């Protein structure tokens, strides 16, 4: 089996950003991490506008080509920040930090395992990818001080959201995780 190194590299970045957001949110007051995310969103909107006007900036094009999917642009990265920011408006910092960690780690591992998986279960999703998502989500929630039942329910429900929703994972995972953990945690 040939490994898809470009997708693995992209998802390693995805995981690292999730860990970075987790620590930024965990170690700073709400106003500080929200201000950081607002600045990132303004920057993202500016880049999207420039790209749509066919105005190119060398280092941004380089980053997009090196860690993005072919033809994807910066929108997925924008959604990544937007969804965490929206969760930060409605939920306490611990849940928001965990939502960022789950987005980065669980979605990243799902793709790394799933892209080479052989057992398709829904559209392009595989049993291997969904299993990696659910197990990593369970472990994150459980080792964050929530009980086994809360971790299991959160892992199962969020895996279903990731598996069956046609909305971009970067946009749906943090709010869905936050809602599920708030209800069952």
Render pLDDT for 28-66 as a digit per residue (tens, 0 to 9).
999 999 999 999 999 999 988 888 888 887 777 777 777
What is each CA distance from 88 to 15, 33, 38, in whole angstroms?
19, 9, 11
**85-107 residue pLDDT tens:** 999 999 999 999 999 999 999 99
Residues facing 125 on adjacent strands = 122
Give the closest residue to 1 by CA, choosing from 137, 128, 170.
Answer: 128
CA distance 119 to 97: 32
CA distance 157 to 44: 30
**Residue 48: per-residue pLDDT:** 86
Burial class (CB in 10 A: 0-12, 13-18, 19+), 7: middle
Total domain count, the chain? 1
Residue 12 near residue 102, CB atoms below 8 Å: no
**Residue 60: per-residue pLDDT:** 75
**63-83 residue pLDDT tens:** 777 766 666 667 888 899 999
Q: Is this model's pTM higher than 0.85 or not?
A: yes
**Residue 144: per-residue pLDDT:** 97
Q: For residue 99, give its domain range.
A: 5-184
**137-182 residue pLDDT tens:** 999 999 999 999 999 999 999 999 999 998 999 999 999 999 999 9
């Amino acid at each position: 089996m040939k490994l898809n190194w470009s997708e693995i590299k992209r998802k390693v970045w995805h995981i690292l950003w999730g860990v970075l957001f987790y620590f930024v949110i965990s170690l700073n007051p709400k106003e500080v991490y929200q201000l950081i995310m607002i600045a990132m969103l303004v920057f993202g909107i500016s880049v999207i506008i420039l790209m749509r006007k066919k105005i190119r900036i060398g280092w941004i094009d380089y980053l997009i080509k090196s860690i993005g999917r072919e033809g994807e642009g910066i929108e997925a990265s924008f959604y990544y920040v937007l969804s965490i920011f929206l969760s930060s408006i409605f939920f306490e910092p611990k849940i928001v930090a965990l939502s960022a960690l789950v987005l980065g780690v669980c979605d990243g591992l799902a793709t790394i395992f799933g892209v080479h998986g052989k057992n398709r279960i829904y559209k392009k999703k595989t049993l291997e990818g969904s299993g990696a998502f659910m197990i990593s989500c369970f472990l994150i929630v459980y080792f964050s001080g929530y009980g086994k039942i809360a971790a299991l329910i959160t892992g199962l429900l969020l895996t279903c959201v990731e598996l069956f929703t046609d909305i971009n994972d970067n946009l749906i995972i943090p709010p869905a995780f936050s809602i599920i953990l708030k209800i069952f945690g």
